[in-house]
Amino acid sequence: MSMAKGFRVKFLFVALLNLWVVHQAACSMNVSSHGHQAHSRFLLDNGVSRTPPMGWNSWNHFHCDLNETIIRSTADALVSTGLAKLGYKYVNLDDCWAEGERDKKGNLRGKLTTFPSGIKALADYVHSKGLKLGIYADAGNRTCSNQMPGSLGHEDQDARTFAEWGVDYIKYDNCYNDGSKNRGRYVRMSRALQKAGRPIHYSLCEWGQEKPAIWAGAYGHSWRTTGDINDTWASITSIADANDVWARYAGPGGWNDPDMLEVGNGGMTVEEYRSHFSIWALMKAPLLLGCDVSSASRETLSIIGNKEVIDINQDPLGVQGRKIRTKGGLEIWAGPLSRGRVVVVLWNRSRARAPISVGWREIGLSPSRPVTVRDVWKHKFVAMKRRYRLTSSVASHSCKMYVMTPFSG
């Protein structure tokens, strides 16, 4: 068998393994056969997130200082910058959007001082822009800020509320819980969302504590594999490594989530942000912007608006790329794409510029077969009939990202 065929067979096996793992995870739960089948059909039939979700979340930049003006202006900016046309469609409220207590009927309600028009009106506005609204809730008694109620014990009621408001995405956090197993509490919200009847992306945010990659694909569309990100080089590198462990469990409709993007928040260099975006795209991570889109710089927009990199993330094959080799901070990450192509990232995590080489055998290509090599950051072909290997000089904390296409001429 050729190396190219072996590479494709390997990843076909991974895809089948993904389906088996999801089935086993669901069957291991103490639920009826009929209930499991109906729930699985719901997740498969709702058409949500067959590719990784793209959009924006308020937390990384605004934290609790959010209001409906910020959300509306962000929706406007996604459209005016052209980011919406590139696929950034979710506008997600994180923590602190609700009043501190429920109303007399036990319902959640938008905070009057910051969301005076209400969440339903906000959803209508976002939808009028051709976008989708996301919201935040928690599988405990209070959310992580301790400024609003959690959904523990109110799963059905809150799921109905979110559906009635027209919510399209829910991030479900894990603070102030009752000490019970995470899985059970997250499954309850999954069932509640099913009964609510609206196609909603369900993002499980239990920080990877109970290895959700193994079981969450039966109940949601993405799951956090790590703790929270911050706007530092040390954070993105450690989180990339932690997320890489679970690569085989991701695929169309269910994605490993290494947390939201920090690009544009000011804590890293342009090259570090470009590396951050490249690796998240290769890992098929949700691409949720965390900056202030309405004031984003040209450099930031050039990174998050790179269509060629976004196309890698949104590739319909849906196989998460992985770390292939590392030595002395010089790394090769790669993964298969549709139409027999391969994406490769040469990532220099060391403190000095260095050459990084990748051989065709390492990435599943036949050494003697010619390959076209496209640099997706330079937007040009750097080789048309390259054989055997590629070497590139990569600056410190920078990367080179290529799409390899076996030559068919």
Would you place residue 240 in the very low, low, confident or very high pLDDT band (cuts 50, 70, 90)? very high
Distance separating alpha carbons of residues 78 and 303, to the nearest angstrom = 14
Kindly state whether residues 153 and 99 are assigned to the same domain.
yes
The last residue of one of the domains, among 279, 314, 349, is 314
* Residues identified as active-site: 173, 228
pLDDT for res 45: 52
pLDDT digits (tens, 9 = 90+) for 190-201: 999 999 999 999
β-partners of residue 203 are 171, 222
Co-location of 290 and 215 in the same domain? yes
Number of folded domains that form the chain:
2
Identify the pLDDT of residue 409: 61
Which CATH number does the domain housing residue 174 bear? 3.20.20.70
Q: pLDDT of 40-60, one tens digit each?
A: 444 545 679 999 999 999 999
Q: Are strands 54-57 and 90-92 parallel, antiparallel or unpaired?
A: parallel
Whether 25 has a pLDDT exceeding 60, the answer reads no
- The burial class, CB within 10 Å (0-12 / 13-18 / 19+), for 100 is exposed
Are 259 and 388 within one domain?
Answer: no
pLDDT tens by residue, 366-377 = 999 999 999 999
Q: Is the pLDDT of residue 119 over 70?
A: yes
In a shared domain, residues 370 and 229: no
For the chain, the farthest-separated pair of C-alpha atoms sits apart, in whole angstroms, at 72
Q: What is the mean pLDDT of the chain?
A: 91
pLDDT tens per residue across span 277-296: 999 999 999 999 999 999 99
300 and 214 within one domain: yes
Give strand ranges (E) for 7-107.
54-57, 90-92
| Tens digits of residue pLDDT in 133-156 | 999 999 999 999 999 999 999 999
Q: Residue 142 in contact with residue 149, Cβ under 8 Å? A: yes
Domain region containing 136: 54-314
Run of H or E residues at 134: strand 132-138
